[in-house]
Amino acid sequence: MVPGDADSTTDLVQAFGLGSSSNMLEIGSGVGGGTRAIASRFGAYVAGFEIDRWRDGERSEAYGWRIEDAQEALGKLSVEVRVTADESDAYSAKILETWKSFVAQVDDNPLPNELVLPMIDEAEFWARRVAAIQSGNLRLCRMTCLKSPLEE
């Protein structure tokens, strides 16, 4: 359950200038819809890693970074930050739109009993995220970066 659709995903990465010689890593690829959309639209090689391998850590204490700290750490790794944008409000809206769409589908086609409790858990997880975003305690920032070539 990721907010948005394939067009939203490809819009987010358009600034990367991806092409057939590009490689990209997507963390939190889910079933791979966004990953496939990126590869299809831009011809890039996209490797996806599922968020469930490390998401459990998020459900406990989180250690956020201020944007300035992230920029400094990236700079030390020879990564040039080109654009920084706060996408929090748009992300929160996509979460709510996606759940609204899901609920409309479930109204017409109820979930099997074995999926009810996992979906309640997922809904609670996303509700906590939206609450944290709307309170200002959590922000989602997108950074467009360029890795400097390795020096010889």
Mean pLDDT of the chain: 83
pLDDT in tens, 104-120: 988 888 888 988 888 88
| 94 occurs within a structural domain | yes
Q: How confident is the model at residue 39 (pLDDT cuts 50, 70, 90)?
A: very high
Range of the domain at 137: 6-147
Q: What is the pLDDT of residue 127?
A: 85
Which of 4-13, 43-52, 92-101 is modeled with the greatest confidence?
92-101
Write down the pTM of the prediction: 0.58
The CATH number of the domain holding residue 67 is 3.40.50.150
| 134-151 per-position pLDDT tens digit | 888 788 898 989 887 766
In a domain, 24, yes or no: yes
* 1 part of a folded domain: no
The pLDDT tens digits of the residues spanning 46-77 come to 887 665 574 443 666 666 788 899 999 999 98
Domain total of the chain: 1
User: What gap in Å lies between CA 99 and CA 108, rounded to an integer?
Assistant: 14
**Residue 152: inside a domain:** no
